[in-house]
Structure 1
Amino acid sequence: MQHVLIVEDVPETAEWLGAVLQQAFGEVHLNVATTCQQARQLLGKVSINLALLDINLPDGSGIDLVAGVHQHYPNAYIVITTIFDDEEHILQAVQAGAHGYLLKDSSERVFIQKLRGILSGDPPLSPSVSRRILQYFSAAGNAHGTPDNQHSAVNRSDVASLSPREREVLILVAKGLSRGDVAELLGLSTNTVARYIRDVYQKLNISSRAEAAVEACRMGLVKTDF
């Protein structure tokens, strides 16, 4: 994570994020934008491994930048950094393709820990954000008026599309285990685990660990209180 884009309109917060990144990863090259427009002007012109995007910007939302970052830097890690912990913003970020969602009111220690987790494959999600995502999708069927039996049938269909090994991998990934940890636990190579993860993502039409956690909960493979 040597090249980082920070999109943040509060100078003090941008400075704090820069300091946290240095503690998490050591030497980093920072590109800072204070608006969506400035961020878009940087895309494609600088190297980016990691993007930290605020939501409430003077000319829009950082969530709207996620697609552009994906387009220019397919392998970059995208984390929303914000004070908003409501379901609407969280779900918008996940659906847009963000890989993580960290709340700025987290302690510096927690922030550093979550960012470092990226290196081992752990999704950088604040604990309260994880709970909100899982609780929302756990109750989504009833909340949208879907009959329980129909909702269960959908879950069974999704589960049935996965092989027993794929279900095991999905559960472990949803619980935050890194690829290496999953490989060690299941007695597989990391390349084999990577193939299982790819196949699971394709079958469920998802692209991130956050979405994997959501789907595992919706399918009843994990509980909302872990």
Structure 2
Amino acid sequence: MQQALIVEDVPETSEWLHLTLQKAFQQIHSFQADSCRQARQILQAHCISLALLDINLPDGSGIELVPCIRERCPDAYIVITTIFDDEEHILKALKAGAHGYLLKDLPERLFIQKLRGILNGDPPISPSISRRILQYFSAERSVPQTQANNMDIQADSRHEAISLSPREREVLTLVAKGLSRPEISSLLGLSTNTVARYIRDVYQKLNISSRAEAAVEACRMGLVSTELH
């Protein structure tokens, strides 16, 4: 982590995020913007490795900045930092390409822990957000039977074409439950490098790139329930 972009229009919150980043990562420099316009100006002059984006900004939504950041800085981690925990904002952010979604009311210790997880390849997502995602896709199963049957056929066709080994399914389940790589390594008696390789292979097979998507796929495959805490 070298340079970060904080997009937040409330000065006190912006400063809190700045100080939190300092605690999470050593020697990180933060650019602070209070609007989409100012953020775009910063991105024209600098390439960042991490972005913390608020949603409700004076001239738009931080989600609108995600494609710009991905184009300008393709290796940057993009994390939405907001108070909005509804499905509409969550799914819109993830579909745009955000890698994480953290609520501002998360305890600072846990907020820092989630940010540091980036260094281990663990996308920062608030536990309640993971549950929201699972609940959303569980609710989709309540659609009219004809539509549900069509969806099931499409899902079955997709997963029939994807073959996960028992160990890969086990790793996917633990990732979906929110365990970090070191935790999975300890639980399964594997090295962290081996766990990382399993996660990489699973992500490639399922064509996903984030823990949130892994949780969705695990739910669809019946590996986890929506009652995770």
Corresponding position of 1:174: 176
> Could you say what secondary structure the match of 1:118 adopts?
helix
Distance (whole Å) between structure 1 residues aligned to residue 146 and residue 116 of structure 2 = 39
Whether the aligned pair in 2 keeps the contact of 1:3 and 1:28 (CA below 8 Å) is: yes
Comparing 126-135 and 110-119, the one that deviates more: 110-119
> Could you say what secondary structure the match of 1:139 adopts?
helix
Once the 2 structures are TM-superposed, how far is the Cα of residue 93 of structure 1 from its aligned partner? 0.7
Corresponding position of 1:133: 133
Once the 2 structures are TM-superposed, how far is the Cα of residue 214 of structure 1 from its aligned partner? 1.5
Once the 2 structures are TM-superposed, how far is the Cα of residue 33 of structure 1 from its aligned partner? 1.1
Once the 2 structures are TM-superposed, how far is the Cα of residue 180 of structure 1 from its aligned partner? 5.2
Pairing partner for 2:210 from 208, 211, 214: 208
Whether the aligned pair in 1 keeps the contact of 2:168 and 2:198 (CA below 8 Å) is: yes
Gaps of 5+ in 1: none
Q: CA RMSD in A?
A: 2.5
Distance (whole Å) between structure 2 residues aligned to residue 19 and residue 137 of structure 1 = 36
TM-score by length of 2: 0.85
Corresponding position of 2:36: 36
Once the 2 structures are TM-superposed, how far is the Cα of residue 100 of structure 1 from its aligned partner? 1.0
Corresponding position of 1:220: 222
Corresponding position of 2:164: 163
Distance (whole Å) between structure 2 residues aligned to residue 135 and residue 146 of structure 1 = 21
Spell out the pairing of 1:68-87 with structure 2 (5 A cutoff). Answer: 68-87=68-87
Distance (whole Å) between structure 2 residues aligned to residue 64 and residue 82 of structure 1 = 14
Corresponding position of 2:114: 114
> Could you say what secondary structure the match of 2:60 adopts?
coil
Give aligned-pair identity as a percent.
Answer: 69
Distance (whole Å) between structure 2 residues aligned to residue 70 and residue 43 of structure 1 = 11
Q: How many correspondences in the alignment?
A: 226
Distance (whole Å) between structure 1 residues aligned to residue 181 and residue 40 of structure 2 = 32
Once the 2 structures are TM-superposed, how far is the Cα of residue 204 of structure 1 from its aligned partner? 2.9
> Could you say what secondary structure the match of 2:111 adopts?
helix
